[in-house]
Amino acid sequence: MLVDYVYQEKYNGKVKRLLSQARFRIPNAEIHDIYYTDRGLNRDLLLEMSTCQFVHNHSNVIFQGFTGSGKSFLACSIGRQACKQSIRTRYIRIPDLLMERDEAAQEKMGMGKLLTKYSRYRLLLLDEWLLNDYSDQELHFLFELIERRYDAASTIFCTQYKLEDWHGRLGGGVLADSIMDRIIHKSHQLYSGNINMREFLAKRS
């Protein structure tokens, strides 16, 4: 029927726009393309996350694993599922986010605007979490962002580090306590597997 066609076209246009605005590192990552064989992935939990119910519950997801294990692909595949559910989503690497923070700090009200911008995404994908050491100013910025999103939006963290290493990577002080407290108690943790997917895919191509 014409009404169904018009609705589908409108929906397709909205999803296309959301996918473009999300700026995924791997824009064609799809949940059905995930490789599972001998990888050690928790398939059931991953498929549960792909329903995006965690977004409606304002929970977080943590993908932890070594470099090349496919954390970004997994995160982007869930991000795509979110866009298909009309959930406003954004992907960004932490180094790029902190560069934006440095630029915003030079402008009047720039920091507040930047925090507001990233607080409003219902799903935010933070890649390369804890990859580098952070200055006190950067830690305060990350705390403020996480505080604003706490119990109001969802975040996917991609990191090489296990939870027991986070406190030290976040400076080991009271601020580290505060950041972790707002993340881990409402988070689903997934290991990204024991296969170097970059190496694996390079051999297959």
> Which tens digit of pLDDT belongs to each residue from 27-47?
999 999 998 888 999 999 999
Select from 165, 167, 155 the least CA-distant residue to 126.
Answer: 155
**For the segment 65-114, what is each residue's pLDDT rounded down to a tens digit?**
999 999 999 999 999 999 999 999 999 999 999 999 999 999 999 999 99
Task: Return the residue matching tokens 């006190």.
Answer: 136
Task: Return the residue matching tokens 């290493």.
Answer: 165
Structural domain spans, the chain: 27-204
Cα(158)–Cα(72) distance, rounded to whole angstroms? 7
For domain 27-204, say whether CATH 1.10.1040.10 is its number: no
Integer-rounded Cα radius of gyration of the chain: 18
Query: Model pTM?
Result: 0.94
